[in-house]
Amino acid sequence: MSLTKLVFIQSSTNSDSIHTKVPLNGTVGSLEVVSGGTYSDSLQCSWELNFPQESSVNLSWDYIDTENHSKCKYDWVQVLDLTHDSQLVYGRKLCGSLNPTNLKLLNVMVRGTRRLLVSFRSDEDTQRRGFRMVYQAFSRPC
């Protein structure tokens, strides 16, 4: 099984927003908005994870470090299950700087999915490290 790592590569910007949507196929990988440093302002990034068949997908987080807000209005990451009516996997957007204990609480298994959409957004103010999410899909053999 190969590990796919997808890093959003920033380009220099002015106040214009960047919007990137990247399709990704495979069963194991990690996503991060930047590799070292901090993310740019006004980013809109999406990664669509496509699995070869209906799978159970384990999601875990190495870090989430974004601007904090009680309703995640400014900078956030979210995961949608596109197989099940675009339901929010965590019931809400994720934001703030989460410690290792809280990150472990976010480890979940999404069952019976073929497609997940991970989205990240930042506003024009505070920039931090972003996030790194690791996923692994398991499917039943035929």
Could you read off the pLDDT of 111-142 as tens digits, one per residue? 999 999 999 999 999 999 999 999 999 886 65
Could you read off the pLDDT of 14-50 as tens digits, one per residue? 334 444 555 555 667 778 878 778 999 999 989 899 8
Using CA atoms, how far residue 81 sits from 50, 55, 77, 98, in Å, is 11, 12, 14, 23
Residue (of 70, 122, 115, 61) closest to 96 by Cα position: 70
Q: What values do phi and psi take at 131, rounded to 5?
A: -155, 160
Residue 131 CA to residue 102 CA, distance in Å, equals 14
Q: Where are the domains of the chain?
A: 4-9+16-138
CATH class label, 4-9+16-138? mainly beta
Name the pTM for this structure. 0.81
Residue 98 CA to residue 103 CA, distance in Å, equals 6
Residue 129 CA to residue 29 CA, distance in Å, equals 19
